């Protein structure tokens, strides 16, 4: 009887261990499945990704880094990266929006087609909310940049001081055809920092990204952009990048510092 009882007890214990082992294996398998299911989510939130074609391609010309793919919609133009002096966007059009200078068809009333269409949608969206915007200055040729810089040097007294307010020729985003300076009647159609306090300026700051535009030179980022705060200067980069930049509070420079090239 004692031997039989011992064998029965051992069998029960062994059976219990096998059941426990099976349960542990099942739980372990479930945990693995959960972990595997969570991995893609972690990867998806790892950060923005951008195709290599949207990064600057550069060649050195007389000590300057000149962009060789200026037609790139994400082109990064600043005091480090210059556009070729002979570059003119191939698809410039005049957006169907209100301009501060009326119906004149002049150089600064043009933008690249994709950006122009996005600008039209943005102005229409603003109008639906009783916000009246006016375009002031879009495309700016290299030749025009030289004229503006010379005038600024004459006023400021030196190239260094002039370059704090005006982009050196070839380093102006306006040459890309992807930028528009925007104002309102409330500030007499001028380009002023006080524009940020107007309902028009505030609407743009909070909504431009929905249409693919970013506030290119934000307040507090002067050391990054190397330009003063310009609440009127909006640059088209496409909706996906604009929303990412807006969400993180980045400049375009900071976006490229954080985005992963794929």
Structure tokens at 80: 């480090």
Active-site residue (options: 230, 243, 253, 260): 230
Six-digit token string for 185: 């009647």
Q: What is the DSSP string of 83-107?
A: --TT---TTEE--SS-BTTTT---G
Percent of the chain having pLDDT more than 90? 78
172-212, pLDDT tens digit by residue? 999 999 999 999 999 999 999 999 999 999 999 999 999 99
* pLDDT computed for residue 40 by the predictor: 45
Between CA 92 and CA 106 the distance in angstroms is 11
What is the per-residue pLDDT for 165?
80
Residue 222 corresponds to which tokens in the numbers above?
A: 């002067």
Residues 6 or more apart whose Cβ sits within 8 Å of residue 112: 89, 91, 92, 93, 176, 177, 178, 236
What parts of the chain have a pLDDT lower than 70?
Answer: 1-45
114 is catalytic: no
Neighbours of 113 (CB within 10 A): 15
For helices 199-207 and 113-128, the axis angle rounded to 10 degrees is: 120
Please report the pLDDT score of residue 163 as a whole number.
85
DSSP 209-242: GGGTEEEEE-TT-HHHHSS--EEEEEEE--HHHH
pTM exceeds cut of 0.85: no
């Amino acid at each position: 009887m004692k031997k039989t009882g011992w064998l029965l007890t051992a069998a029960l214990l062994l059976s219990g261990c096998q059941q426990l082992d099976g349960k542990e294996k099942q739980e372990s398998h479930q945990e693995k499945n959960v972990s595997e299911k969570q991995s893609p989510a972690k990867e998806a939130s790892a950060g923005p990704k951008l195709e290599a074609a949207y990064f600057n391609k550069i060649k050195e010309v007389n000590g300057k880094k000149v962009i060789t793919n200026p037609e790139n919609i994400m082109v990064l133009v600043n005091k480090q990266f210059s556009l070729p002096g002979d570059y003119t966007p191939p698809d410039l059009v005049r957006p169907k929006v209100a301009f501060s200078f009326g119906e004149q068809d002049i150089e600064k009333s043009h933008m690249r087609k994709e950006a122009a269409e996005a600008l039209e949608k943005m102005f229409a969206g603003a109008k639906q909310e009783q916000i009246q915007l006016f375009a002031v200055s879009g495309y700016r040729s290299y030749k025009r940049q030289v004229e503006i810089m010379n005038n600024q040097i004459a006023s400021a007294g030196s190239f260094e001081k002039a370059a704090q307010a005006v982009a050196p020729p070839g380093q102006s985003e306006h040459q890309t055809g992807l930028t528009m300076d925007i104002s309102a009647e409330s500030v007499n159609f001028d380009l002023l920092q006080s524009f940020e306090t107007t309902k028009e300026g505030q609407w743009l700051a909070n909504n431009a990204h929905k249409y693919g535009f970013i506030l290119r030179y934000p307040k507090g980022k002067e050391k990054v952009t190397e330009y003063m705060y310009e609440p009127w200067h909006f640059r088209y980069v496409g909706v996906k990048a604009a929303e990412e930049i807006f969400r993180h509070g980045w400049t375009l420079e900071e976006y490229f510092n954080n985005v992963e090239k794929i």
